[in-house]
Structure 1
Amino acid sequence: MARMPSAERRRQLVEAAIRAMTRDGVAKTTTRSICAEAGVSLSVFHYCFDSKQALLEAAIETITGNYVTRVMSAVEPGATLRETVRGALQTYWDHVTAHPGEHMLTYDITQYALREPGFEHLARAQYEQYVASAAALVEQVRGARGLEPRVPVEVLARYLAAAIDGLTLQFLVLGDGRAAADHLNLTADQLVRLIEG
């Protein structure tokens, strides 16, 4: 096995864990199966992570960070605020439809964390990260348009995180792309009203 910097090895293990958990579910994915997926020994895992819990935290951060990076890079001032907001939402939504398994994994991680003693804080951290991500998006949209929202950014962020979370889960369950598009349009309309005032 080639020597690799620990940060790169951690990334390799997190990516392997995301693949394994997406395929097999969180409860059935073991540290051994993650190591097999990554092609490393169990000692490498223990060198990089203290526990499966630490790996789950890194996986949540990675998944959410990837969404945020994708959406933030797509925020470009449109002709209107609504076009700007709807474009950002669409960037996220394109990932949902292209990678539904990864999005199902986020719900699996939440349920696992809520049921496993000692892991509950992971679910809270996961949803706080969603809110922080939504706040960063609202701030970027606000800055791009030079607007001061009518309601506090934190309130907007919690609303946006809850709306997107619900829309994503509904789409994963029902698979109705047309309804999802309608709901994204409604979400964009509501955000615009809350931002523009």
Structure 2
Amino acid sequence: MARRPSAERRRQLTEAAIRAMARDGVARTTTRSIAAEADVSLSVFHYCFDSKQALIESVITALTDQSVTVVKKALQPRATLEETVAAGFQAYWDHVRAHPDEHMLTYELTQYALRQPGFEHLARRQYELYGEAYADLIGQLARSMDLRLRVPVSVLARYLAAMTDGLTLNYLVLGDAAAWKDILDTVTAHIAGLVQDDDSRTV
């Protein structure tokens, strides 16, 4: 088997772990099954990750980065702030609908980490990543559109993380994609109100 840089191997194993965990569940996914999914030897896995904790943290980071990348690409200044925010939400929502198993996996990872002794910090890190990701997105939007926020960035970031977390779980449980347009429109208008100053801004 051709040798690859360790960073590439880690990425390969992380992607394999996401596929295996989304299909089989976190608890039933073993290091051996991940190595088989990635088509590498078990020794390669242990060379790249010194523990299952390290692997799960890599999976959490990769899943978060995927969602953030999708939103960042869509979050370009448009005619109004509300249209800009709506584009970001729509991009995220399209990703949820296209990859429900991956988003379901994020909730399973949280529960697994909270219930597994020694893994609790991974659940905390998962939600810290969500907050950091939203803070970066808010900063990007504020700079590109010269916005003044009505609440601190840290507060708005955690609020957005909690709100999208709840909306995503509701969709995964209830389905009915058509019903979510009005909900997203309501959320978009609310968020735009939190980051607009007193005068409506345009680009």
**TM-aligned CA deviation for residue 180 of structure 1:** 2.2
Render the CA deviation track for 1:5-27: whole Å, top value 9, x for unaligned. Answer: 11101100000000000000000
Render the CA deviation track for 1:143-186: whole Å, top value 9, x for unaligned. Answer: 22111101101111111111100000000000021332222212
Return 5+ residue gaps in structure 1 as ranges: none
> Where does 1:1-197 land on structure 2 (aligned, <5 Å)?
1-197=1-197
Return 5+ residue gaps in structure 2 as ranges: 198-203
Identity across the alignment (%): 64
Q: What amino acid does structure 2 have at the position aligned with 1:93?
A: W
Question: Which sits farther off after the overlay, 54-63 or 68-77?
Answer: 68-77
Question: Which sits farther off after the overlay, 129-138 or 11-20?
Answer: 129-138
Distance 2:13 2:28 in 1: 16
Tell me if structure 2 keeps the 8 A contact 1:82–1:192. yes
Distance 1:96 1:31 in 2: 27
Aligned length, in residue pairs: 197
Q: What amino acid does structure 1 have at the position aligned with 2:76?
A: E
Distance 2:88 2:144 in 1: 12
**TM-aligned CA deviation for residue 190 of structure 1:** 1.1
Tell me if structure 2 keeps the 8 A contact 1:167–1:183. no
